[in-house]
Amino acid sequence: MQALILAGGKGTRLRPLTMHTPKPIVPIANKPFLLYQLELLKRADVKDVILSLSYQPQKIEDKIGDGTDYNVRVSYAVEASPLGTAGAYRNAASMISETTVVFNGGVLTDIDMNEVIRRHRERQAAATIVLAPVPNPTAYGLVETDKDGRVRRFLEKPKPEEVTCDTINAGIYILEPRVLDYVPEGEPFMFEYGVFPKLLEHNEPFYSYVWRGYWRDIGTASSYLQANLDVIAGRVELLPPPTTQRGEKFDESAEVEPPSAVDPGCTLKPGVRIINSVISRNCYIEERARIENCVIRAGTRIGAGSSIQRAVIGKGCHIGRSVEIKGAVLGDKSVLTDYSQIGE
């Protein structure tokens, strides 16, 4: 088994957090997001991983390398220009020689890939698509299946009266090499609108697997924040939730309420209170600052008496004294002067 992770998108919905950091390596609970997907694949003994890149590829290569540090073999297929989900798969054709797990680069899940692979083989499928239920399927493309799980049709953003199921494309596929024959070479092409309809048209054995456990697309700031909070709360059964070890620069009176993840290299001054939040390395939190339900990226300074709630703060920001932030997202190197109020 091989795996292809589609990690070439620009992460436009996640801006400004992805302006200087590609989405595949934005940190979730202080670990690059890709590590969660690599862990999921390793559990299924899939250790030959291809990363399909396009946007800021060198930053991803520098972070992941050849995979030795993570007990996998990582190779890279870089697109000269974006080719779409299936086009990226075709672009890596020279590196694909066997059944391949294809992962959307923005999906956080703890699905049991061993079970998905087993079902794929039992059915002798050409393709298997993982589906996830959602409360409001009208915002997505529905995937209808027969009772035996065989895919019948795709319905893009249906009207309420057209909804016949609650399952959507979860962005995880298992594909046999012959699926490459359905993808034109060197041109943009999508699985959803190009390859999958062709598989149905040619009556290929195309099946689904419904996953009703944890699944989240981290592609928006609000979902990215929630993914961090889910991981530190232990709702995602992948990498162990991080625990906070009090660093040398944590004042004795500084409170870190679990579940929180605060890098021990941070400075926490007297009276600081951190509740259910993720704080990355080298942050400097001044006296009586309160941070609740937040993600604070590396190298940020937060002034005395400031209150930050339900926010994502980028790298190297400077937040002044007595600032109030609620429900906002700040890009890298943002500056807020003393007594500023932003957000809700």
Q: Which residues are catalytic?
A: 157
**Crossing angle between the packed helical segments 33-43 and 113-122, to the nearest 10 degrees:** 50
Buried b / exposed e over 110-125, threshold 16 CB at 10 Å, is bbbbeebbebbeebeb
The β-bridge partners of 125 are none
Buried b / exposed e over 128-147, threshold 16 CB at 10 Å, is bbbbbeeeebeebebbebee
Is-contact 293 343, C-beta < 8 A? no
The β-bridge partners of 268 are 250, 285
Is-contact 110 42, C-beta < 8 A? no
Token pair belonging to 262: 């605060």
For 106-155, the DSSP string reads TEEE---HHHHHHHHHHTT-SEEEEEEE-S-GGGSEEEEE-TTSBEEEEE
CA distance 152 to 199: 11
CA distance 329 to 310: 9
H runs (alpha helix) in 252-323:
none
CA distance 64 to 22: 12
CA distance 304 to 323: 9
Euclidean distance between the first and final Cα of the chain, in Å?
48
H runs (alpha helix) in the chain:
33-43, 57-64, 84-91, 113-122, 196-201, 221-232
